[in-house]
Amino acid sequence: MGATTTSPFVIAGAGLAGAKAAEALRDGGSDRPVVLAGDEQERPYERPPLSKEYLRGMSARDEVYVHPRGWYEENGVELRLAAPVAGIDPGGHTVTLGDGETLPYAKLLLATGSSPRRLPVPGENLDGVHYLRRLAESDALKETLGAASRLVVIGGGWIGLEVTAAAREAGVRVTLLEAADLPLVGVLGRETAQVFADLHTDHGVDVRCGTHVTEITGEAGRVSGVLLPGGERIAADAVVVAVGVSPNTALADGAGIETDDGVRVDAALRTSHPDIWAAGDVARAFHPLLGRHIRVEHWANALNQPATAARSMLGEDASYDRLPYFFTDQYDLGMEYTGHVGRGGYDRVVFRGSPADRQFIAFWLRERRVLAGMNVNVWDVTGPIRTLVTSGLPVDAGRLGDVGVPLTEVFAGG
């Protein structure tokens, strides 16, 4: 079965990237059918609230969805839920669904996202051990936080820290276990990661770094605590495992499409196969400004990349060159991060404002150029930070760190 003029655009994965791709393909004006096939029961929803306001009971379920229920039918998008795409035949231009049905496609977008890494220790499957990716998992965790008194959170990344904050706000005692020297140290570096460690310590969290769990213990099939390497046992009535995600590349691998910790795509988000694209968490895309392939596991990337993929699928020239951007909310700390610190790393961090007061902008520099900026409880500066990064011009560190100097006037010799 080959592609015909009426073969649909098929999107594998009905998360944020898949839903935005369907929207962009429709906005692009093509008459071709669009099929959006997802393996979940829910129509596409946004995940950030699942560890923040939705988990804390501050927002309603209806607010998490990307589109209203009727949007798909009204816009001629065939939404297939509980319909995993099980295989791709790139030569025949078909996909096979989990129930064996075969669908032809003209162009295919992989928007399969990523999945939580499992913790390879005994007890990982006990009742009361939570992972957090899906809406139903947030519901289950919300219920647990309402009843638990002692929680162990394994992994001090963004999701682990947000869950920790939600648990503390629900009055639960929390021990946070992080394998590295500090939570987030791999992402932010020591100077700025300390701010987040202090934030949680100040909110009564027992933050334990440089340690890992050897076993999750249980009684009668339910979690009772965790064991640390020296034999120490920390009692808990629930455990959250938040040790990162892996891109869902199995479909691409099975079809012989090039992968490398993600589906490798060019700046137009096209894979190694000319009629197959990838976007969102699963894509490792060439970034024209940074000059390398990057994979971004953040909301803004899943929101914005699909428009570029759709344009390219519709035959236009397109290139995705937005800088990575993400945000977090923990207690009374709100933060936005713009930019990307590559493998070479940074050689200096400049603070503008006061990390101790948790109101500042941190800049990561390499050879006097700004690679990334993170504003903490300082707002409306994403534009100027983006300009500093994209300009590639050297800055004067003294002026950059001086809150009295506008961010437009910090260039060296300026």
Ligand X SMILES: Cc1cc2nc3c(=O)[nH]c(=O)nc-3n(C[C@H](O)[C@H](O)[C@H](O)COP(=O)(O)OP(=O)(O)OC[C@H]3O[C@@H](n4cnc5c(N)ncnc54)[C@H](O)[C@@H]3O)c2cc1C
d(CA 21, CA 107): 12
15-34 positions binding ligand X, by CB under 6 A: 15-18
Among residues 102 and 391, whose Cβ is nearest to ligand X?
102
Q: Are 302 and 66 in contact (CB under 8 A)?
A: no
Of 71, 105, 277, 327, which lies in the binding site for ligand X, with binding defined by CB under 6 A? 327
Among residues 38 and 218, whose Cβ is nearest to ligand X?
38
Q: Which amino acid makes up residue 75?
A: N
Q: Residue 328, interface with ligand X (CB under 6 A)?
A: yes
d(CA 365, CA 373): 9
Among residues 81 and 405, whose Cβ is nearest to ligand X?
81
In our burial notation (b when 16+ CB lie closer than 10 A, e otherwise), range 294-325 reads ebbbbbbbbbbbbbbbbbbbbeeebbbebbbb
Site string for ligand X, 297-316 (x = CB under 6 A): xxxx-x--------------
Q: Residue 38, interface with ligand X (CB under 6 A)?
A: yes
Q: Are 388 and 395 in contact (CB under 8 A)?
A: yes
Q: Residue 12, interface with ligand X (CB under 6 A)?
A: yes
Of 37, 151, 170, 374, which lies in the binding site for ligand X, with binding defined by CB under 6 A? 37
Question: The tokens of 213 are what?
Answer: 């769990």
d(CA 111, CA 14): 7
Of 8, 9, 14, 193, which lies in the binding site for ligand X, with binding defined by CB under 6 A? 14
Question: The tokens of 41 are what?
Answer: 């029961």
Q: Residue 160, interface with ligand X (CB under 6 A)?
A: no
What distance, in Å, lies between the first and last C-alpha atoms of the chain?
62
d(CA 241, CA 160): 8
Among residues 159 and 172, whose Cβ is nearest to ligand X?
159
47-66 positions binding ligand X, by CB under 6 A: 47-48, 50-51
Q: Residue 159, interface with ligand X (CB under 6 A)?
A: yes
Q: Residue 164, interface with ligand X (CB under 6 A)?
A: no
Q: Site residues (CB under 6 A) for ligand X?
A: 12-18, 37-40, 47-48, 50-51, 84-85, 111-114, 132-133, 159, 248, 251, 280-281, 297-300, 302, 326-328
